[in-house]
Each structure stands twice: as C-alpha cells, then as structure tokens.
C-alpha cells in the first residue's frame, strides 16, 4: 500500500511544480482512481483469505474420531503414557494420559499410600492395554488437566477400557466435569452392574466413598 500512496503523492507533486493543463489534471485523477480501486481490491483479497485451523489436536475444538496411539507404559489403573501424532506432522510424541470419568485405587499416592485393589487395577489396565490396538478419544471440553495430562477415553480393539474396568469392579465413576460427559450414562450403567454383583471395590463395605476410597 505504501507504493500506491507514493505514486499518488508523486502525481500531486508534479501538478504542484508545473503549469498543468486540464488534460494533465484528468490524467492524474484517472491514475488516482485506478490506484484506489487497486487498494480496495487488495483489502478484499486479504479479508477473504481463509483462517488456517490449528493442526494441533490438543488445541482443536469439538469432538473427533478415535486417534491411533502406542502404549509407552502403563502407570496406574486409570493413567498411562501414550505416543501419538498430535501435530499431524507424521511424528509421534509421548503424553501422560488420565482416563476420563473413572477413578481406581492408588498404588503409590504420597498421602494415601497403597490402597486395596490398587495393584490389581493397575495390572488389569496393563493387561488390557497390551492386548490389542489402542485408540484414544477426546471429549468436547477440556483436553488437559492441571498436571498437563491429556484427558481421554481409551479403547483396545474398539472396546472401552473404562467400561471394562467399571464392569469388573476395578474403578468407580468419578471426576465428572461437564461438558466431558459423553459416556457418563454408559459408565454409570456398568458401575451399577458391578455394584449389584459386589465385584472388586464394591465387595468391601464402606470402601468406596463419594471422594474416593476409604483406606482406613
């Protein structure tokens, strides 16, 4: 745009420094009109350029299809480390992951220590994650927790790891923060089945509480 302004000013300077005829004035006005038209077109072209969407999965809004992931290592009954391509650049990066909407007993919590069925839950999760192809799925809301762990639903060969852990009595439904509640009804139904049959964590009176697990 600076180039166009220079041309206009140059034309005005010529008229100011020389004796000009009506034809000269008309010529400069025609040039000025052409320049202004070009400037307006340039603005429109720039405004019409589409905004580029982020290719980083962690910054993308809305739901997505399940994403293939590799197991780096299981950590606990409801956490693991996965590797997947988050930037669509063909390179896989490692991410600590927290399984959405469930909670399993701790194995090495600094305050709670080792809780009953914590090791069993960890082993069951490890067995599941090592038994087939893993995919992860984000919900529509927050994608990272305060510890910078990704918040995901986890599948092995298309089966929900969360649902299996709930149905077998290794996990309780917990950490329900809308809008990340897409499968809450299904999870609660699986939990109710385990609770009714007194499986795992539900086999011990008073062990499961609204805030977690009673180790005392």
* pLDDT value for 30: 60
Residue 108 designated active-site: no
Question: What is the per-residue pLDDT across 72-89, written as a single tens digit (0 to 9) for each?
Answer: 999 999 999 999 999 888
Question: What is the per-residue pLDDT across 88-141, written as a single tens digit (0 to 9) for each?
Answer: 889 999 999 999 999 999 998 767 678 999 999 999 999 999 999 999 999 999
Of the residues 120, 124, 137, 149, which is catalytic? 149
Please give the model's pTM, rounded to 2 decimal places. Answer: 0.73
Is there a cis peptide before residue 6, judged by omega within 30 degrees of 0?
Answer: no
Residue 73 designated active-site: no
Question: What is the per-residue pLDDT across 17-70, written as a single tens digit (0 to 9) for each?
Answer: 445 565 554 554 464 566 445 545 444 443 333 333 445 888 877 767 899 999
Residue 149 designated active-site: yes
């Amino acid at each position: 745009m600076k180039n166009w302004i220079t041309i206009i000013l140059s034309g005005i300077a010529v008229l100011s420094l020389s004796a000009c005829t009506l034809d000269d004035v008309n010529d400069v006005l025609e040039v000025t009109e052409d320049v202004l038209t070009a400037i307006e077109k340039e603005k429109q072209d720039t405004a019409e350029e589409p905004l580029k969407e982020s290719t980083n999965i962690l910054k993308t809004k809305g739901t997505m299809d399940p994403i293939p992931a590799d197991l780096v290592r299981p950590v606990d009954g409801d956490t693991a480390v996965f590797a997947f391509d988050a930037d669509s650049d063909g390179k896989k990066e490692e991410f600590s992951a927290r399984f959405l909407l469930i909670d399993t007993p701790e194995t090495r919590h600094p305050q709670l220590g080792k809780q009953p069925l914590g090791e069993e839950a960890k082993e069951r999760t490890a067995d599941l994650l090592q038994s087939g192809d893993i995919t992860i799925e984000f919900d529509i809301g927050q994608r990272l927790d305060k510890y910078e762990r990704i918040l995901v639903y986890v599948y092995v060969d298309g089966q929900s790891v969360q649902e299996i852990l709930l149905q077998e009595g290794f996990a309780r439904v917990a950490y329900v923060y809308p809008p990340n509640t897409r499968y809450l009804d299904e999870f609660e139904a699986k939990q109710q089945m385990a609770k009714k049959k007194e499986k795992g964590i539900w086999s011990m009176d008073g062990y499961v509480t609204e805030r977690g697990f009673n180790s005392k």
